[in-house]
Amino acid sequence: MGIDSQQQPDSRKAETQTIVSMCGICPGGCGVRAHLVNGQLDRITPLEDHPRGIVCTRGVHSREIVYSPDRLKHPLKRAGAKGEGRFARISWDQALDEIAQRLKEIKARYGPELLPEFPLVFNSGARLQSAFRSQHLNIPGLLKMQPEPNVLINPQDAEARGISDGDRVYVKSLRGQVPFRAKVTEWVVPGSVEVNVGGGGPLQPEAWREANANYLTDMDNRDPISGFPVLKALLCEVQKVDIP
Ligand code: SF4
Q: Within the chain, which residue ranges are assigned CATH 2.40.40.20?
A: 114-240
Provide the β-strand partners of residue 183: 152
Task: Name the residue with higher pLDDT: 228 or 114.
Answer: 114
Tell me the helix, strand and coil percentages in the chain, rounded to 5. 20, 30, 50
Atom of ligand 1 nearest to the CA of 126: 1
33 lines ligand 1 (CB under 6 A): no
HSE-up of residue 63 (Cα within 13 Å, Cβ side) = 12
CA 57 to ligand 1 centroid distance, Å: 8
Q: How far apart are CA 16 and CA 2, in angstroms?
A: 14
What is the reported pLDDT for 188?
A: 92
216 lines ligand 1 (CB under 6 A): no
pLDDT at 1 over 50: no
Residues 161-203: tens digit of each pLDDT: 999 999 999 999 988 999 999 999 999 999 999 999 999 998 8
Atom of ligand 1 nearest to the CA of 55: 7
Residues 41-71: tens digit of each pLDDT: 999 999 988 877 889 888 899 999 889 888 8
Q: Which CATH class is domain 114-240?
A: mainly beta
CA 22 to ligand 1 centroid distance, Å: 9
199 lines ligand 1 (CB under 6 A): no
CATH number of 3-66, picked from 2.20.25.90, 3.40.190.80, 3.30.390.50, 2.40.70.10: 2.20.25.90
